Structures are given as C-alpha cells and as structure tokens.
Amino acid sequence: MTSKIQEYADIAEYAQQMQEPEWFTQLRVAARQKIPELVLPDFQKIKYRTWPINLKQELSVKHSQTADLNLETRQGNFVQVGPQLVQAKLPAEWAEKGVVVCDWPTALKEHPELVQKYFMTKATKPTENRLNAEHVANLTSGLLIYIPKNVILQAPLTTYFYQDAREKQDYVHHLLLIADENSEVSYLENTGTVGTSETTANIIEEVIACQNSKIKFASVDRLGQHTTTYLNRRGYLENDARVDWSMGMMNDGDIVGDFDSELVGTASHAEVKVVAISTGEQVQGIDTRVTNYGQHSLGNILQHGVILARSSLIFNGIGHIVHGAHGAEAQQESRVLMLSTKARGDANPILLIDDNDVIAGHAASVGRVDEQKMYYLMSRGIDKKTAERLVIRGFLGPVLSALPSKEVQQILADMIERKLVNGQNDE
C-alpha cells in the first residue's frame, strides 16, 4: 500500500482484511483528508447540527450474527444485516440477461468498471459536504444493482437492509442502482433496525437512469428510535429517462432525508412521492429537490405527512429550473396534518426559476384535523382514536393511490396503521 494509506491505520487495516482494491482505498483516504475542511449540508428550517449525526468511530471489520434473528423479509431477493449478506436470490433468467446484484465487497472485486464509472461521480460527489466525505471514508455495507441495455425486468427486485444496533456502532451503507439505456426495473427497498443501542446511520443511495430507461424506486423506511440518520437519495436522469420515487418515511428516530433528482437530459421525468408520520418526540426533516437542467424536463413533488405527540416534521420542497431548460415544468405540493397541540410542522415551498418559457407551481399547508369530520364520524358511534385514523387515511390517500405499485400501497398502508396506533398510545 502507498504511504499515504498507511498514515490512516484503521483504513489500512480494514483494506487489508477485506482485500479491498487500492484504488477504492485511496478514495477513502482522500475523503478522510478533506473532512476537516468541509461543512454540513444546509437545509432550510431543519435544525439538526447539534444531533449526533457525524460518524466518529474508526473504520473496522464487523460481522453481524444473524442466526437468532427473526427477520421480516417477505421473500426478498437480497437481505443484509449490517454489512452481512444473509440472503441472495437472483433469478436465473436475470443472470442470463447480464443483471448484476451483489454486495459491496463483491462489487469492488468483480465489477470495478461499474463502481469506478458511477460511484459518486454523477448523482453526488464524495466531497460535496462533510457527511458525504464521512460516508466514503467509513463505508462498510451496500449493494450494486446493474440492469444492462435493453433489459426489462417484469418482476420487482426486493431488498431488505437492517441496521444492526445490538451494539453501539455506526451504520454506513451505500446503494448504487444503474439502469442502462432502454432498460426498466421496479425496485422495492425496506430498511429497518435490529437492537436498541444509540447509533448513527449514514446512508447514500444513487439511482442512475441512463437514456430512455425507466426506474420505479419504492422504499419503506423504518429505522429505530435510537438511531440518528442522514439518508441521502440521489437521482441522475439522462435523455428521456424516468424515475418514479415512492418513499414511506415511517422511522422512529431523528432523521434528515436529503432527496434530490437531477433532470440532466432532455425530456427527463421525475415523480417524487413522500408519505411521512412522526410520533413521540422525534424530528423528521425532509428536503426534496428536483432540478431541471434538460429542456422539456418534468419534475413533480407530492409530500403528505402526519405528526403526533411532541414530534416534528419539516417538508422542504424545492423546484429549480436552471437557465437554458426551455419548456421545463416543476410542480410541488407539501401538506402536513397535526394531531397534537404540542407537535410542530412546516411545509416550505421553494421555486427557483432561472429561465422563461417554463411552467412552475406549488401548494403547501399545515393544519389540524377537521373537527366537522371528526364530529360526523364520532356521531356514528366511532371512538375518537379510530375516527382520527380514518381522517388520516383520507388525508394520505391521494399519495398512496398515486403510488405505482399495489404491493407498495398495501405495505405502506399496513405500516401507517401500526405507526398511528403506536403513536396514539404515546399521546
């Protein structure tokens, strides 16, 4: 190894134990060196800088014991607990078509050309901010997904990523999903936590949609109460590409969601749908941005959230049409429903328009449960808690019904019901 790598004992030891290629280890070192110079990303009205969100543990090899875990997997194709891959089911017909799905160590060893071409080179950069640099320096788990040119997957690809919080350890996870030209994939991701230790999670997920590709990205996020999380999902869309994001933010701990879609290509199209429920004393700050670079590109943001008890939920919706993006369109809607006088909600619409001949619009609201609806339901013999849940279902219905997958709709509906019941019990 080079002398520069040897200066960082934890990185050098990790690279040796994992037999990591030197080119990636050098990326780690470069990121580690830049950390002191970098600042945390800034999000309007999301006050997270005093949170324990920075990664402070040294990089080390960790093995998660999974034999005693009763994991919910719903027949997932790939299941990981911490850095440990515990289930891998790639259909034979997919492999025959050249589809690649593998854990991060395998990706570095067997598919370096894909990692070197796409890993934090397009959707985001290693030194874009301090959290990105910490991520690269301390990355231990992840998945590479590659759909070759002209390949259309009819069945969804399902993953389960579990953070292992049975011990106090950082969770640093990366997803790199690449849909090559004219390909199509439907991807369903489930995140969760096992254990109750106070931990920090740093998750970056890159979705690369090459020319004329179609990606349906759905997620149900259920990270634990004692986990402080930075969740960064980035999309990079080339000509005529489309990404449909459907995200259910059902986390129990404090989290910053940083969701960006870069509409680089002409006629590229991003649909971003977010459903969030905050309970207890947690804070969820969700910053969703679509940037139109390409001409005739289209970006839509739809966010609905519910807050209970003493929790907080902040929605930032940012539509940015840059100079030269003629014929582009940016629309957004963010709405927050408050079920407690002690809760805090914000819905902040932001439009940045740097060109003419474009279409842009926004809608935002923060309000409480309609008392007339509650009175009507309770007058029919329905108790207050059940009436509240019915009103909430109606409020979230427009987002759920717009999700492209019936399976995702049902999974999210079940999770919303469980979270609402638990949240009402915290009141």
Q: How confident is the model at residue 382 (pLDDT cuts 50, 70, 90)?
A: confident
Residues 30-55: tens digit of each pLDDT: 999 999 999 999 999 999 999 999 99
Which burial class, exposed, middle or buried, applies to 34 when counting CB atoms under 10 A from its CB (0-12, 13-18, 19+)? middle
The whole-angstrom separation of Cα 371 and Cα 393 is 15
The whole-angstrom separation of Cα 427 and Cα 419 is 13
Q: Calculate ∠ Cα 187-189-192, nearest 5°.
A: 175
CB 229 within 8 A of CB 192: no
Mean pLDDT of the chain: 93
Burial track 111-128 (b if 16+ CB lie within 10 A, e otherwise): beebbeebbbebbbebbe
Look at residue 353 and tell me whether its pLDDT is greater than 90.
yes
Q: Is the model's pTM score more than 0.75?
A: yes
Q: How confident is the model at residue 224 (pLDDT cuts 50, 70, 90)?
A: very high
